Chains A and B, each alone.
Chain A
Amino acid sequence: AQKVTQTQTSISVMEKTTVTMDCVYETQDSSYFLFWYKQTASGEIVFLIRQDSYKKENATVGHYSLNFQKPKSSIGLIITATQIEDSAVYFCAMRDNNAGAKLTFGGGTRLTVRP
Chain B
Amino acid sequence: DPKIIQKPKYLVAVTGSEKILICEQYLGHNAMYWYRQSAKKPLEFMFSYSYQKLMDNQTASSRFQPQSSKKNHLDLQITALKPDDSATYFCASSQEQGEREVFFGKGTRLTVV
Query: Which residues of A are at the interface with B, using a C-beta cutoff of 8 A?
Result: 33, 35, 37, 42-47, 50, 52, 91, 93, 95, 100-108
Contact = CB atoms under 8 A, between A and B. Distances in A.
A107 B44 CA distance: 10
B51 interface: no
B113 to A, nearest CB: 20
B85 to A, nearest CB: 18
Given A42-B106, A43-B88, A43-B106, A101 B43 contact: no
Nearest to B49: A101
A46 to B, nearest CB: 8
Interface SS, A side: strand
Contacts, number: 59
A100 B103 contact: no
B55 interface: yes
Given A93-B43, A101-B33, 16 more contacts: A33-B100, A43-B107, A44-B107, A45-B90, A45-B104, A47-B101, A47-B104, A91-B42, A101-B50, A101-B94, A101-B97, A102-B45, A102-B48, A105-B42, A105-B43, A107-B42
Interface of B: 31, 33, 35, 42-45, 48, 50, 55-56, 58, 88, 90, 94, 97-104, 106-107, 109
Contact of A100 (B44, B55, B106): B55
23 contacts: A35-B100, A44-B104, A45-B43, A45-B90, A45-B107, A46-B104, A47-B102, A50-B100, A91-B42, A93-B43, A95-B98, A100-B55, A100-B56, A101-B31, A101-B48, A101-B56, A101-B98, A101-B99, A101-B102, A102-B45, A103-B102, A105-B44, A108-B42
Nearest to B107: A43
